[in-house]
Amino acid sequence: MDIHFDDAPELPRWLKPHLPFKRRMAHTDRGQIHFIDHGEGRPVFLMHGNPTWSFLWRKVIARLEGFRCVAPDLLGLGLSHKPLRTREHSLKGHILVMSQLVRALDLQDAIFVGQDWGGPVAAGVAEQCQDRVHGVVFANTGVIRPRRPIKTKAFHRFSHAPVVSDVVFRGLGFPQNILHRVQGDRASIGRLERKAYRWPLRKIHQRAAPLALARMVPNGESHPTTATMDRIGGWVESWKGPAALVWGVRDPILGRGLRRHREALPQAKVWETQAGHFLQEEVPTPIAEAIRTVHDWR
Q: Where are the alpha helices (DSSP H) in the chain?
A: 58-61, 91-104, 118-128, 154-158, 164-166, 191-198, 208-215, 224-238, 258-264, 279-282, 284-295
Q: How far apart are CA 183 and CA 281, in angstroms?
A: 9
Which class would CATH give 4-295?
alpha beta
Of 292, 293, 243, which is closest to residue 67 (Cα–Cα)? 292
N-to-C CA span, the chain: 36
Report which of 112, 143, 144 is spatially closest to residue 125, judged by C-alpha positions.
Answer: 112
What pLDDT is recorded for position 298?
85
Q: Domain locations in the chain?
A: 4-295
> What pLDDT is attached to residue 207?
97
What does the pLDDT read at residue 2?
83
pLDDT at 239: 98
Distance of CA 132 to the CA centre of its chain: 19
pLDDT along the chain (298 residues), means of 10: 92 97 97 98 98 98 98 98 95 98 98 98 98 98 94 91 95 96 97 98 97 96 96 98 98 96 98 98 98 96
**What element of type H or E holds 117?**
none
Burial 53-74 (b: 16+ CB within 10 A, else e): bbbbbbbbbeebeebbbbbbbb
Q: What is the pLDDT of residue 153?
A: 86
At 1 the pLDDT is: 64
Whole-model pTM: value is 0.97
The amino acid present at 9, given as its one-letter code, is: P
What are the Cα distances from residue 194, in Å, to 51, 73, 128? Answer: 12, 17, 34
